[in-house]
Chains A and B, each alone.
Chain A
Amino acid sequence: MTPVTTEQQDPAAAQAARRRVPVPRIRNIAPLIALIVVAVLFASLNGRFLTVANARSLAAQGALLMVLATGATFVILLGSIDLSVEGVMGMTSMVVSLLIANTRNSISLGFLAVVIALAVGTLAGVINGLGLTLARIPSFMFTLGTWYAALGVATVLFGGNTATITSKGFLDLGAPWLGGFPPTVFVAVAVAVAGWAVLRYTKAGRYIRAIGSAEEVVALSGVPVRRYKILAFGIAGFTSALAGVMASAQVGNGNVNVGSGMVFTTIAAVVVGGTLLSGGRGGVLHTVVGVLLLTVLGDGMVLAGVSTYIQESVQGVIVVAAVAAAAWPQRSRLRIAK
């Protein structure tokens, strides 16, 4: 009379897993439809919406978000989250403004300044990745810490005096260029395309998605999971740095708060576009839709005379609503959501 050796699996969950019905391919046209509806709505409300000038304005606003959201997509596909966006942006904004021709010191490294700033941001991202993989601290806690730490670094660099940028080449990045669109817009497009290609075609991109979908399976197959997690966070750090640089070009100086409010908007854009917070599903194409949706929403609200403060509220509600809607089908009595 031998007892059964105890399995660590939850029998109920195993049963449920065995019964899992096929999931229809996620069309996720819902966000796309929402985008079209919203665009049409605002177009009809305000004649200025459909002008070229507005399109340029939209593109400039959206460029920053597009870059940030692309990097965030990599991290969210893992099933993790990166809250340090604002801090890294502030930090790299200060770095680039102090290393390029500016009013505060005589350093003028030109393009090298941008490279250094990008490297700093990527390093911050790698540290985030290490915090997750080595220290095994949940990403939202760790990146909450680096958010403030990076802001702190930026504040220290700030030292009480603004560093207004004088390098014309740099400032031109924010000025109208081809077709009236500033170079930042093209950078954003390039980043989005590159992000999409990496996720879609490279092994690393596919692994990042796989880790979010079924991490244990991937680990058991001998894939070095740690490496790809750090890579994803590094990419996110890079895009945060890039956004910080771009924002500095637009504003014309180094600003600790250049990223203020962006953490929300970024996560909202990714989530609204259809990428799941639990990881494994979604991607850059989804994120593009999400970015457009939020940008159009924001722009339309401004044109309609809605206060910018309300935008923050609206975004907050959108984030919760989008995540709740995506998670709704999996609700069960025994599900644990902390």
Chain B
Amino acid sequence: MSTESETVLAIRSITKRFPGVTALDNVSLEVRKHEVVGLIGENGSGKSTLLKIISGVQQPDEGTVEVRGKKVSFASPAQALAHGIGMVYQEQSLVPALTVAENIFLGMPGTSRFGVYRWREMRERAAGELERLGLRMDPKAVVEEFSFAQRQMLEITRVMQLGQRSGHEPLVILDEPTSVLEQGEIDILFEQIRRLREQGSVIFVSHRLDEVLAVADRVYVLRDGHCVAETPTAQASTAHLLAQMVGREISDGHYSEDLQVPYDEGEPALRAEGLSTGPECRDVSFELRKGEVLGIAGVIGSGREDLCRALFGAVPVKQGRLWLGGRRVRFRSPAAAARAGIGYLPAERRIEGAVMGMSVAENMVLAAPSQVSRGPFLSRGHWLKEVERWCERLRIKTPSGATSIGLLSGGNQQKVVLAKWMLKQNLKVLILDHPARGLDIGAKQEVYRIIRELAQAGLGVILIADTLEEVISLSHTVLVMKDGVVQRRLDAPRGAKPEQVEIVEHMV
């Protein structure tokens, strides 16, 4: 428990908007001296945006940020660091080829004389910094040799160092630091956090409720861009926090629930048994029937993305077996999976979904050019017709087939990518990775409607959705994954959908 109430960081009524979406709405938060503040919220709650604003990566549209009583505005992470605020990222910011000492002091003046490093002095200072966090690392060792956990501790040391240079006690932000750690390493991390608390303050973000409750003094809960709760952890209960994390009753309207029809209980379109790609996704088994929408719920690191990429042949399957339409399959590449009848709509549309430099028409036939060919040659007549047909069917708004796809709105781009797979005659399974991400409401509704129609037509659909609402409303069945394994399987028939809490409790 903090004994002083001096406020280090005060966020007052922060609002941040992006095109089509309000990420943070009137959020306020406080971090006091020598305190660990926990921050929880599911995907899309605004957690990452809030962290970006605090660490200086982004600026708020409204509201103020105060550091030690003074209003500040960070134009960059460097400025935040100048005030003592630093974030330890999930993707690490260390140089593997350099030594521990060099990494701690990278870019700082005063470390060299006439262009040559003061090696001994650097080593001693580095050892001192490490000591303060109870770490015993050889300052001369090259970072490349260290495990992820060790590197993370080094990063914390570096951030502490940078924060201290500002002359104040540092505020260290830890964003999901435990997702890839072993239990022993987690204990060491908690020990470090305790030391950090003695020398400054910490914001701790994790999807694992038990961890947050173990290490934080107070907890904030974010949901849909709002701060919905603030409790001292001594008085908090898991059930209460879970309830705060999930939203209101599923708002009806845009999910076209009336279109959800039960699927065929027949031969499964896709069956997996004991599928493993590595520690990130282990021992997954499921059956996907024709006409079924199988939603997979889970946070980042739960393994659902790895699972889907493995089904599409983009990631090697180390163990387990897969059957497509009753036939045993093993895909060595996405080309093989596509040939067999599996399609994939990637989350990163601009990088993996569509070729931005090509036209709508060209993108549309990428996966199945034979549909618009006569013999081995592309046939312009066929092609034009098909493009018109699909633009009409999916209500794609584009000036012409020759328009570069980059000029279309996100929603229309996504529909073109959907059309690309739908063009395939032999499509049996379609995997959708965050299909409605970044789309406005109207576009989302259309995408949902298309998903319903695909299922009705007998396709097997696997869905990774942005929010719990989406996954519950759209799916016939929900698999909940956490830390690489399937925790639970829930039925979600029309009219008898599970509560969000039922799912969240297995996710965190």
Contact (A214, B437) CB under 8 Å given A4-B466, A202-B116: no
CB A58 to nearest CB in B, in angstroms, measures: 32
* Partner among A14, A214, A218 whose Cβ is within 8 Å of the Cβ of B90: A14
**CB closest residue in chain B, given A17:** B91
CB B92 to nearest CB in A, in angstroms, measures: 7
Q: Count of chain B residues with Cβ under 8 Å from any Cβ of A? A: 70
* Partner among B144, B278, B332 whose Cβ is within 8 Å of the Cβ of A22: B144
A333 contacts B316, CB within 8 Å? yes
A19 contacts B115, CB within 8 Å? no
**CB closest residue in chain B, given A280:** B97
- Which residues does chain B contribute within 8 Å of A7, judged by CB atoms? 48
B314 contacts A19, CB within 8 Å? no
Q: Is the interface of A mostly helix, strand, loop or mixed?
A: loop
Within B232-258, the residues touching A (CB, 8 Å) are: 247, 251
* Partner among B43, B44, B77, B278 whose Cβ is within 8 Å of the Cβ of A19: B278
Q: A175-213 interface mask toward B, CB cutoff 8 Å, 1 = contact, 0 = none?
A: 000000000000000000000000001111010011011
B96 contacts A5, CB within 8 Å? no
CB B303 to nearest CB in A, in angstroms, measures: 9
Is A281 in the interface zone, CB < 8 Å from B?
A: yes
* Contact segment of A136-144, A219-227, A241-249, A287-295: A219-227
Within B107-152, the residues touching A (CB, 8 Å) are: 107, 111-112, 115-117, 119, 142, 144-148, 150
CA distance A32 to B313 in the complex (A): 40
- Which residues does chain A contribute within 8 Å of B251, judged by CB atoms? 1
Contact (A202, B115) CB under 8 Å given A1-B251, A22-B147, A280-B97: yes
Is A27 in the interface zone, CB < 8 Å from B?
A: no
CB B259 to nearest CB in A, in angstroms, measures: 19
A25 contacts B115, CB within 8 Å? no
Is A47 in the interface zone, CB < 8 Å from B?
A: no
* Contact segment of B17-25, B400-408, B420-428, B450-458: B17-25
CA distance A204 to B96 in the complex (A): 17
A2 contacts B22, CB within 8 Å? yes
Contact (A18, B179) CB under 8 Å given A11-B305, A209-B98, A333-B333: yes
Q: A217-241 interface mask toward B, CB cutoff 8 Å, 1 = contact, 0 = none?
A: 1101111000000000000000000
- Which residues does chain A contribute within 8 Å of B21, judged by CB atoms? 2-3, 5
- Which residues does chain A contribute within 8 Å of B119, judged by CB atoms? 201
Contact (A206, B305) CB under 8 Å given A3-B467, A10-B348, A334-B314: no
A5 contacts B48, CB within 8 Å? yes
Binding site for A on B (CB under 8 A): 18, 21-23, 43-46, 48-49, 77-78, 90-98, 102, 106-107, 111-112, 115-117, 119, 142, 144-148, 150, 179-180, 224-225, 247, 251, 278-280, 300-301, 305-306, 309, 313-316, 332-334, 347-348, 351, 434, 436-439, 466-467, 469-470
10 further A-B contacts with Cβ under 8 Å, apart from A6-B348, A213-B97, are A2-B21, A6-B437, A21-B147, A201-B117, A202-B115, A210-B97, A214-B97, A223-B106, A333-B333, A333-B334
**CB pairs A–B below 8 angstroms (28 shown):** A2-B224, A2-B467, A4-B48, A4-B434, A4-B466, A5-B21, A6-B348, A9-B91, A10-B348, A11-B347, A12-B314, A12-B315, A14-B91, A18-B180, A19-B180, A20-B148, A24-B145, A203-B111, A206-B98, A206-B102, A210-B98, A210-B102, A212-B97, A214-B94, A221-B106, A223-B106, A280-B97, A334-B315
Question: Which 7 pairs, one residue from A and one from B, show the smallest C-beta to C-beta distance?
Answer: A221-B107, A213-B97, A280-B97, A222-B107, A214-B95, A210-B95, A203-B112
